[in-house]
Amino acid sequence: MNGRMVIEGLQVQGPNEEIQYRVTCTPTPTSVTGVTVTDLNTGTNVTATVMPTGAASVAAGVITLPILKALTLNHRYRVAVLYSDGTNKVEPLIDVLCQ
């Protein structure tokens, strides 16, 4: 991560694509507390629409997210992944642009 944003920067995803993102974190995660997706164009929480099924999981320091899908063309989304390393709660951010 670079600050709170992932070092890969802005991700681009098509409106018909379905992608399962993986995040390698430091400090090493022990559990995921929550995943929230916000449509930055509207300020709306759209988690139930764009990540409707599945749960985040942790293995070997990597967080695997549920599949992100059903994005709206020309909208920008922020995926916030809240996790614990056993002591701290940390929230990396992934920005995704639908093109």
Domain boundaries, the chain: 11-98
pLDDT at residue 1 in the model: 44
Q: Is residue 78 within 8 Å of 51, Cβ to Cβ?
A: no
pTM above 0.85, yes or no: yes
- Please state the φ and ψ torsions of residue 76, each to the nearest 5 degrees: -110, 135
Torsion of CA 38, 44, 45, 51, to 10 degrees: -70
User: Tens-of-pLDDT digits for all 99 residues of the chain?
Assistant: 446 888 889 999 999 999 999 999 888 999 999 999 999 999 999 999 999 999 999 999 999 999 999 999 999 999 999 999 999 999 999 999 999
CATH 2.60.40.1220 matches 11-98: yes
pLDDT at 25: 87
- In the prediction, which pLDDT does 58 show? 95
